Amino acid sequence: SNSNFNTLLTADKKIVAFVGTTKNGTSFVVNNTAEMLASMGIETAILDMTKTKNAYYIYTKNEESLRDTARNCMVNLQNGIAEGIKVNKNLTVYTEMPGEEKEYEIETILATLVNRYSAILIDTDFDTTPEIFARVQEIYLVQTMDVLTIQPLTAFLRNLKSKDILKPEKLKIVVNKSQKVRSLNIKTLIGGMSCYNSPDMTY
């Protein structure tokens, strides 16, 4: 089954997941990366697999027709139909109303997306089904250099490892923080993370 899915992942296809602690800006990174890829002419899809369903509120724009599309798009994906919220020529969003999540056949949904799009960006959280992380090519860990958010992320990665899902070569890190520094090396980075919550932070 997994090998069947992998045959769809040709050289011109990319399917990745973004995950981070709440308020780390994971959805912000996903949405802006998707907009950038779409502006470059790349057929892009956002798949919202978070509990909060931020994409639902952002992309339905309080319009009934878009809410109807969101209501049906996940079921359609499972039936092999790629009909989501069309943001622009090259960007489509797949989400659903919070609280209406169902059990989906993940491989079918991902296969439908991979057949239709070149780049699939999956917005996830720590409650997202682990199968997503097993299927994607890369997992981007979104961090803000806040030491308090490292522990839950570490626990999440440990959980994936215990399920034999975590492949270290898939992991990438996004530091979603703007900070003025003269230079950025490992010592400065670790120092900043360790004292970020301190009032007298110097980095």
- Check if the beta carbon of residue 50 is closer than 8 Å to that of residue 128: yes
Rounded to 5°, angle at Cα 139 from 44 and 99: 70
**1 pLDDT more than 50:** no
**2 pLDDT more than 60:** no
- Check if the beta carbon of residue 89 is closer than 8 Å to that of residue 39: no
Q: Picking from 15-19, 39-43, 70-74, 190-194, which range would have the lowest pLDDT averaged per residue?
A: 190-194
Q: Where is pLDDT greater, at 62 or 48?
A: 48
pLDDT tens column, 163-191: 998 888 999 989 888 777 788 788 877 77
pLDDT tens column, 118-164: 999 999 999 999 999 999 999 999 988 777 777 888 889 889 999 99
The CA distance from 125 to 20, in Å, is 6
Q: How far is CA 75 from CA 84, 95, 96, 115, 180, in A?
A: 11, 10, 10, 16, 46
**195 pLDDT more than 60:** no
C-alpha of 12 from chain center? 19
pLDDT tens column, 10-22: 778 999 999 998 8
Q: Hey, what are 132's tokens?
A: 């997503």
- The H helix count followed by the E strand count for the chain is 8, 7
